[in-house]
Amino acid sequence: MEKSTDYLTGVIERITFHSEETGYTVARLQIPRAKELTTVVGNFANIQAGQTLKLQGIWKEHPKYGSQFQVSQYHETKPATLTGIEKYLGSGLIKGVGPVTAKRIVAHFGLETLEIIEGESDRLIEVPGIGKKRVRMIQSAWAEQKAIKEVMLFLQGHGVSTTYAVKIYKQYGDDAIRVVTDNPYQLADDIFGIGFLTADKIAQQVGIAPTSKFRYRAGILHTLGEAAEQGHCHLPQPELVKEAIAKLSTEEFEATVETVLAIVGEMVAAQDLIEEVLSVEEILLFKPTFYHTECKLASYVTQKLANGQMVDTARVKSWISRYTAKKALELSQQQYNAVFLAASAGLMILTGGPGTGKTFTTRTIVALWKAMGKKIGLAAPTGRAAQRLGEMTGLEAKTLHRLLEFDPNTMGFKRNEDNPLPFDAVIVDEASMLDLFLAHSLLKAISPKTQLLLVGDIDQLPSVGPGNVLRDLIASQQITVVRLNQVFRQAAASAIIRHAHQINHGQYPQVETISDQPQSDCLWHNGGTEPEHGVQLIGELLTDFIPKQGFNPRQDVQVLCPMQRGVIGTRNLNAVVQSILNPPQENKPQLQRGTTIFRLGDRVMQLKNDYIREVFNGDQGTITAIDKEEQILTITYGDRPVDYDFADLNEIGLAWAISIHKSQGSEYPVVILPLYMQHFLLLSRNLFYTGLTRAKRLALVIGSSKALGYAVRQQQERQRYTRLQERIKGGDLI
């Protein structure tokens, strides 16, 4: 028997759960004169404590939580009580009005508060503690939230979550509804976090036919975009067609090969795609920026290869002998070759694993270049790697973005062919992290006569972004490469380094088992086959074992995971570690976005390049302030505070646990590395190797021995579609 529809009106007392992705919400509602709060569940576009809502739905009995009201429709009414108005205003709805200011305004204007803000907002100056600047801020925020609410209601009506409503409004302003109606696929291009699938849902709602060319084009570009997220610079035509059909087809509609190929042909003719025909059977498809960037990068590389330095080899050899004698140092033959070749090479790569002397060799090359009177520039992709490079050489080192001088006005780098870097020689450390676009920007900014030394570990994971630059440069066999593979005795004393090289050679590492008095800096704890046991173990390590070893779990420890999802993935572990190392306290501010709680003192990570704020994908910082009144969250990166509007918090994530990929270029005193077969799709030798070598003083590996063995055996990393090495080899340039 169908349950009859019922109606409730009340004030939202608190939000128990809200999913930003789906809008699914569990909230507690205060119904007038009711003694207890009522639990309401449903999909809400936007919901704040203090809102007065009229709800339509049915009553359901939850087996665990009891009676709940399942909401099918709702609309907001103005709060009718002083308490309701106060909660409504102080809920974070209006920038500039937090709980304290809300209390003052309501105390002054009473039940007329909302009408006065709406129609006579200049009178807010009457409220004690509110000045002209704050009045202007409240007026602006009130107008904006009204406009945003219209956008939210529109989006809600078209099946999209309003997580991004503020961003959509900020991007398009008063044109937001028009853009969403005319071209919803534009959202996927313009707004971080909105992809083709979300845009496609909106398109269906506003009546765009599944057969439209507009939709096909968006699906094809989305397929190439997803491929880029997997590191590819292009896709072979058959693979692009197959993937595009899978994305464009629905239960009611099936895309066809013929139509996809026809649209691809039109896009190639319009130069929205680049087609590279290697043979009748092999046709590659690129987004234009990827094709032209790859070709130009190859051109810059070959240009550098043709511009080596003429040096007096006898003088170089003599300097090396005098320098090593004076410093009482001894270079291995490989290290000697690296220093000698660096004197003249226009472009050179120095690679090797931990303990093979990359740091010592780089420092000696810097000393040689100084003796030759060269002006030297130093950089690395991440802030931490740049800091290490500077400490190691005694010279200033910058992140690549700062070295190349990003200009927010042009959204490009100031350093380029017309304004090259003012150095005679440049060293870039952690070069395995260079993706296609950053490598292109770097080479573009280095004049033909400037020497470039790339230092990196070729056995680490490739870059997060598209391309496989360091590996492709080496594979081209056109570039001077020195590979250090001799592990020095002092370094070999570290079990972390020994086991890393064993893993790299496909050998199962015999890691010492964790005990109360460990003898090794690399330890293993059999966490069984169930990831839930691993989560429990991590908690025990953080609260008991690690402090006993003299480390501060809050500052020294980084949990590294193969993937984000699952019980033992970063998403769940972040919540678990946060609850242990930074638990809630009465006077500690926090705010919730979806299922994530951001709390004062949390370790967080930037998830996308933000050139305006000068923080970049992978940068880690600490939340040092949360101002609910101004709706500003402050993160301190190193010693630099950076402010985030609450609307931009989807650009950051908790970083108590991060992916191994995101850890590249960083080192941590202690690393906890969980490996389970639940991660088998991503387990590989270079992933295990990269994670282990992030630990400086102590590595704690937990999980199943089966997962360890599987990771060690998985030598073949997934192929990345690139053409850089072939272009360098064959002079296939533009």
Annotated binding residues for ATP, written as ranges, equal 355-359
Strands (E), 252-355: 274-277, 283-286, 347-352
Burial class of 611 by CB neighbour count within 10 A (0 to 12, 13 to 18, 19+): middle
Is the distance from CB of 344 to CB of 310 less than 8 angstroms? yes
Backbone phi and psi for residue 269, each to the nearest 5 degrees, phi listed first? -60, -35
Burial class of 91 by CB neighbour count within 10 A (0 to 12, 13 to 18, 19+): buried
Which DSSP helix (H) or strand (E) runs through 699?
strand 695-703
Give me 329's structure tokens. Answer: 């140092």
Which of 164, 34, 11 has its CA nearest to residue 90? 11
Residues 6+ apart with CB under 8 A from 588: 599, 600, 601
Task: Report the 10 Å Cβ neighbour count for 414.
Answer: 13
CA 629 to centroid of chain Cα atoms: 28
Backbone phi and psi for residue 378, each to the nearest 5 degrees, phi listed first? -125, 140
Is the distance from CB of 476 to CB of 294 less than 8 angstroms? no
- Give the bridge partners for 507, in sequence order: none
Gap between the Cα atoms of 71 and 726, Å rounded = 59
Cα separation values, 228 from 195, 202, 233, 235, 297, Å: 14, 24, 6, 9, 17
Gap between the Cα atoms of 694 and 87, Å rounded = 47
Which of 613, 303, 296 has its CA nearest to residue 467? 296
Is the distance from CB of 699 to CB of 689 less than 8 angstroms? no
Gap between the Cα atoms of 200 and 570, Å rounded = 29
Is the distance from CB of 547 to CB of 541 less than 8 angstroms? no
Give me 617's structure tokens. Answer: 């994908």
First to last CA, the chain: 72
Q: Beta strands 24-30 and 6-18: pairing type?
A: antiparallel
Gap between the Cα atoms of 687 and 665, Å rounded = 14
In eight-state DSSP terms, residue 308 is P
Which of 461, 400, 463, 462 has its CA nearest to residue 427? 400
Binding residues: 355-359
Give me 353's structure tokens. Answer: 């694993």
Gap between the Cα atoms of 389 and 664, Å rounded = 15
Residues 6+ apart with CB under 8 A from 543: 553, 580
Gap between the Cα atoms of 577 and 125, Å rounded = 45
Gap between the Cα atoms of 299 and 712, Å rounded = 37
In eight-state DSSP terms, residue 631 is T
In eight-state DSSP terms, residue 448 is T
Helix 685-692, helix 705-713: angle, nearest 10: 110
Gap between the Cα atoms of 135 and 133, Å rounded = 5
